[in-house]
Amino acid sequence: MENNLTILYEDNHIIVVLKPQNMACCPDETGDDNLFDAVKRYIKEAYGKPGNVYLGLVHRLDRPTGGVMVFAKTSKASARLSEKMRQGGFEKKYFAVLCGVPGKESATLENYLRKNTVNNMVYVCTESEEGAKFASLHYEIRQKAGGLSLAEITLHTGRTHQIRVQTAAINCPVYGDMRYGGEKAVKGKLALWAYSLRFAHPVSGEAMRFIAEPPTDEFPWKNFDFFVSGFKSY
């Protein structure tokens, strides 16, 4: 068992794991250990598989973001899950601690975003700009404490750095986001957590949901109450 690997669910077709913060979800140019390779090693060791182990990357989380991820253990499952992802068949919910409190307790944010591949930064832009992609999310403020607010965010699209850019655009950047936070940026571990993932099983079609709370013993998460009904990993 990998030291960094927490398995929430596993069967012959999929494996759902908890991605640690500040660990890449897949191999990148840094060469650092990553979740994708860790899951492959686990499968190889746990089942004594010779040779290369198949694993399908269905979706991604930014390196500083922790939370729930699903990988496919077969090519058929990977193709079906990837298609569901493209069709919007996944429900992805996040918790984010925001600096400040938005003017509205609940709202849908819609922007066009473009990515600068040179500096890996994403910017709000106009629809007509080259590379512009539509981005949409819905947030609800669940609690407020010490000048911070706990937002539950539902993604409607899956753009790079989307939550970070769109919350910064309303002057309430994610806590710890020195890249997009501007003058309101507060130094610390990024307080963004993929806490809920809902999708249909790629083979059985069964509706599945997996949730995991953020590290509530760490600041700023410990400022808020996460003891809500049914809030356990499963």
Distances (CA, A) of 72 to 15, 121, 215: 6, 29, 26
- Is 62 catalytic? The answer is yes
E strand intervals along 117-158: 121-125, 133-145, 148-155
Distances (CA, A) of 173 to 7, 66, 82, 104, 121: 31, 17, 30, 15, 15
3-state secondary structure of 135: strand
Work out the widest C-alpha separation in the chain, in whole angstroms: 56
Q: Decide: 116 and 122 in contact? Cβ < 8 Å.
A: yes
Asked if 167 and 103 count as a contact pair (C-beta separation under 8 A), the reply is no
The rounded distance, in Å, linking the Cα atoms of 44 and 9 is 17
Catalytic residue among 32, 33, 37, 62: 62
Residue burial 37-54, b: 16+ Cβ < 10 Å; e: rest = bbbbebbeeeeeeeeebe
Active-site residues: which are they?
62
